[in-house]
Structure 1
Amino acid sequence: MSSPPRRKNMRWEDRGRQILEEAVRFFAECGFEGQTRELAKRLGVSHAVIYRHFDNKEALIERVYEHVYTRRWRSSWEELIADRSLTLEERLIRFYREYADCVFEYEWVRIFISSGLKSYGLPERYLAIIRSRIIRPAVAEMRHDLGLVPRLPSEAEEELFWGLHGAVFYLAIRKYVYATDIPEDIGNTVSRTVRAFMPGLRIQLPLLD
């Protein structure tokens, strides 16, 4: 019986990157309840190798969060929402088209949903970023457009814009969670979604003032 092939030695940094990239695929498929022993088996390394690079499973999950979510955030999105040289509708269309290009992928969506179901707290952290950097500024910009007195957005005002955000993200859920067909041209679909929401937002927001 032939012995198994020897595992190729890798540089420390390369091995850590390999573990992280495989962990992203593994957790997207299995959720964060997936066992690191199974991850090690997929990698063809011992269980101990993973923990030489990451102190524990929680540390690995944190790195997955940073790799999949934090590093993809673009500061230009925040600047875009505040750019009054464009109409708010134009800004939101451009943001959500770029956002869809960035996050509409298997690993991003599956990890986001499964971590929320298992109470790992990652979606709450990410949605707090969406709220502070996109939702609240968008409410403030619409109040400005409508000539309303500047003030902190109310919960009800924020919910109007969460409705738009959810409508865009639901396209990704349909594709990567429910495995149902969605339009091939995501960009135009997103643009139509924003345009459909805008008249209702402009009507409803003054009623909440």
Structure 2
Amino acid sequence: MRREDREKLIVTEAVRFFAECGFEGQTRELAKRMGISHAVIYRHFDSKDALIERVYDHVYVKRWNPEWEPLVLDRSRSLKARLTQFYIEYAGRVFDYDWVRIFVSSGLKSYGLTARYLDLIRTKIIQPAALELRHEMDPGAASSPLTEEEVELFWGLHGAVFYIAIRKYVYGERIEIDIETAVRNTVTTFFDGLTTAVPNG
């Protein structure tokens, strides 16, 4: 097998291994599962952390769609329409056994992967959406820094969508719903509630 093909195979198998076992899973066990020697893994990766970094790139970075960033800022559409499209597409990318379980495992074991990904969500989606809401509700609003309350509103929306995946892939619940419909309902409920949570003016 070519070196690059072997490396890709190790990463692919590591994704499922860490999703099932968490990051405390040993690379020796991963090698055993793959039917290769432990040394083979370290001929491709200098350390377990280097392998985990490649898993992060494979599972998270490569699934991020850079078109989501301008979508949130597109004022030719309502913010509700923009976020509905974003969360439908986002759910299509991340509602996945490996993605969700690795994300949760990383947070529990204090690996930096979860913090890095949440920072991406914060800077590319949450904060821009909060600013867009401010503009939509009052186009002449002062450009003061966002408050924690404004930002937290959108973390609440994000968490409500993502919790569907948590229930399915972490808690093992049978989720027999149409995900797109659930996302639309969640976003609609969020915007319906804004009139009382963030009064205009």
TM-score (norm 2): 0.96
2:38 equivalent to 1:47: yes
1:91 paired residue number: 82
Q: 2:168 aligns with which of 159, 166, 175?
A: 175
1:85-164 matched pairs, under 5 angstroms: 85-147=76-138, 148-164=141-157
The one-letter amino acid of 2:72's match is I
CA contact (8 A) 1:96 1:168 kept: yes
CA contact (8 A) 1:143 1:149 kept: no
Structure-1 separation of matches of 2:84 and 2:62:
22
2:185 paired residue number: 192
2:51 paired residue number: 60
1:5 paired residue number: none
Count of aligned pairs between the two proteins: 199
Alignment RMSD, CA only?
1.2
Structure-2 separation of matches of 1:193 and 1:152:
27
Per-residue deviation at 1:153? 1.4
In our comparison, the structure showing a higher alpha carbon Rg is 1
The one-letter amino acid of 1:143's match is R
Structure-2 separation of matches of 1:202 and 1:97:
23
Q: Which 4+ stretches in 1 moved above 6 angstroms?
A: none
**Structure 2 unaligned regions, length at least 5:** none
Per-residue deviation at 1:156? 1.3
Structure-1 separation of matches of 2:143 and 2:178:
37
Structure-1 separation of matches of 2:64 and 2:198:
28
2:37 equivalent to 1:38: no
